[in-house]
Chains A and B, each alone.
Chain A
Amino acid sequence: MPTKIEKDAFSGRDTTGHEWDGLKELNTPLPKWWLWTFITTAVWAVIFCIFYPSVPGIHGYFKGVLGYSTRATVTADVAALAAQRSQVLDKIKDVPIAKVRQDPNLMAVANTAGRIAFANNCQPCHGAGGEGRPGYPALAADRWIWGGKLEDIQQTITYGIRSGHPEARQSQMLRFGVDGILKPEEIASVADFVSTLYGKAKPSPASAKGAAIFAENCVACHGDNGEGKREVGGPPLKGAVHLYGDTREAIIAQVTNPRMGVMPNWNARLDAATIKSLALYVHALGGGEN
């Protein structure tokens, strides 16, 4: 094939010198700026491989002249953060929780730490403002199942409820319907009675029958008048905790085959100072007791 490089009259460039059936091709090399950018990145890659962890070998890999490690860096970062916070957080951890509340400086930190931990960990169940959800108690109201004092809240957060932790708060409602302890019509009259406790229904002959059954089966945990018993975690029925609904049907369902919620033990995830801060934060949401 003859090679005759010519200048193309139109573009002023050289041709490749080939000719295919009368067609000629312009010789268009890569633009210089592109070529040099490419060469620079290649050189940069080599420099990077010298300074940073890169080439794999038989027993591990080349660790780089700088000895940089992402994991070592994050470990150091987290340690530095902990050291920076420890000044205040250690105090929160060591001082009794009631004392923290009296110290405005500590309380300011505890409130912030608590607010952040709450948003990350508690909000999905209890709601952004601790307003509660069906099945998950309100924390901003003064209706407590296990107690609303600072220490009570701290205890609940630390060990959880039915979490499987040996120190967890533990209560179990009997399956009155499923296990045949009460007959369906007895459960219905208990529901009629319970409805009168919070004004959902007026006392009636049915509720009077329910009251007797209630006195026999329910008072041990829910209190003589349905006011609840915190030491055994029996929810108050008188006001309105009613985690699983306050309609007659909901009460019948709950007595027949009770649902019982689980709260994780947060000591597996959060440190003591954070849990304390959370307790203080929750206490201040509106329902805290003294």
Chain B
Amino acid sequence: MFIRHETIEKNAILMLVLTLITISIGGIVEIIPNFTIETTIEPVKGVRPYSPLELMGRNIYIREGCYLCHSQQIRALKDEVERYGHYSLAAESQYDHPFQWGSKRIGPDLARVGGKYSNDWHYAHLIHPQALVPESLMPRYAFLAETPLETKILDKHLKANRTVGVPYTDEDIANAKKDLEAQANPEADTDFEATLKRYPKAIQVPGKPGEPTELDALVAYLQVLGTMADFSSVTPEQLNR
């Protein structure tokens, strides 16, 4: 019924051919879908690349390992949609490199946390979570408020993202530092309007003028999560593919 394993093991050419076939099948299954990846991204409007401040916040999110306790994917299940809102779309993480879907929920899902709480709340909560939610087992991140945000290679972060497919324009990269400062400081005499044009729905955070902290960046990132996609631009039928 089957080719006896001796037959394969004793015939180098046959073994080579069969190995090649097996690896090819694996390769095809893994590689071919990448060529049609665009067909899996929904035509939802509004999803844009992260603003420089949000991008830096995202880096801190990754550095601190937030994904170990917080997921960023609302699954297409009734109870999840009830609690967290519209299920996550592929389009919503198309500019995430790497994506932050996570696989564990020790804390709540953060896919749509943007705008759910005030900026003040996020600051207070990240500095001392138990002051607001006594039963929380989240660690304190007070040090982020005292750590200046490293922006020396800010444009390189944007360029690196562009290399992997995020459509940052030359203008975006040239204005990266300005955009970051405008978003991190509502008091200063900066042109946040221009930043908003490049990055609609970006939320200004109350940082200290000229010295944005890592906490400012993280809050800006959290406040935009899940707010970009404009669900009125797609019908459920378009999504139910």
**Interface, chain A (partner B; CB < 8 A):** 16, 27, 29, 56-61, 69-75, 77-78, 81, 120-121, 123-125, 128, 133-136, 259, 261-264, 268-269
Contacting residues, chain A, for B87 (C-beta < 8 A): 71, 74
Shortest CB distance B161–A (Å)? 26
Contacting residues, chain A, for B76 (C-beta < 8 A): 70-71, 73-74
Bound Cα distance from A60 to B124, whole angstroms: 46
From known contacts A56-B36, A58-B36, infer whether A124 and B240 are also in contact, taking CB-CB under 8 Å.
no
Bound Cα distance from A77 to B78, whole angstroms: 6
Bound Cα distance from A263 to B120, whole angstroms: 10
- CB of B165 within 8 A of chain A? no
For B117, give its contact among A16, A75, A125 (CB under 8 Å).
Answer: A125
Bound Cα distance from A269 to B32, whole angstroms: 39
Cross-chain contact B125 with A124 (CB below 8 angstroms): yes
A-B interface, 8 closest residue pairs, ranked by CB to CB distance from nearest: A262-B118, A72-B240, A74-B76, A77-B78, A70-B76, A56-B33, A71-B240, A71-B76
Bound Cα distance from A268 to B117, whole angstroms: 12
- CB of B13 within 8 A of chain A? no
Closest to B4 in A: A29
- CB of B241 within 8 A of chain A? yes
Cross-chain contact B120 with A60 (CB below 8 angstroms): no
Cross-chain contact A261 with B6 (CB below 8 angstroms): no
Contacting residues, chain B, for A125 (C-beta < 8 A): 117-118, 121, 132
List 10 contacting pairs A-B, 8 Å CB cutoff, sorted by A: A27-B6, A60-B39, A69-B240, A75-B236, A78-B81, A78-B82, A124-B132, A262-B118, A262-B119, A264-B115
From known contacts A69-B241, A73-B76, infer whether A264 and B117 are also in contact, taking CB-CB under 8 Å.
yes
Interface of B is mostly: helix
Bound Cα distance from A51 to B221, whole angstroms: 41
Closest to A121 in B: B116
Bound Cα distance from A208 to B87, whole angstroms: 60
For A56, give its contact among B6, B32, B125, B135 (CB under 8 Å).
Answer: B32
Cross-chain contact A120 with B115 (CB below 8 angstroms): no
- CB of B14 within 8 A of chain A? no
Cross-chain contact A124 with B117 (CB below 8 angstroms): yes
- CB of B131 within 8 A of chain A? yes
Cross-chain contact B78 with A81 (CB below 8 angstroms): yes
Contacting residues, chain B, for A72 (C-beta < 8 A): 240
From known contacts A60-B39, A71-B240, A124-B132, infer whether A78 and B78 are also in contact, taking CB-CB under 8 Å.
yes
Cross-chain contact B36 with A57 (CB below 8 angstroms): yes
- CB of B133 within 8 A of chain A? yes
Contacting residues, chain B, for A136 (C-beta < 8 A): 121, 132
From known contacts A262-B118, A269-B85, infer whether A74 and B78 are also in contact, taking CB-CB under 8 Å.
yes
- CB of B83 within 8 A of chain A? yes
- CB of B197 within 8 A of chain A? no
Cross-chain contact A135 with B120 (CB below 8 angstroms): yes
Cross-chain contact A71 with B78 (CB below 8 angstroms): no
Cross-chain contact A74 with B133 (CB below 8 angstroms): no
Cross-chain contact A59 with B115 (CB below 8 angstroms): no
Cross-chain contact A29 with B5 (CB below 8 angstroms): yes
Bound Cα distance from A161 to B87, whole angstroms: 28
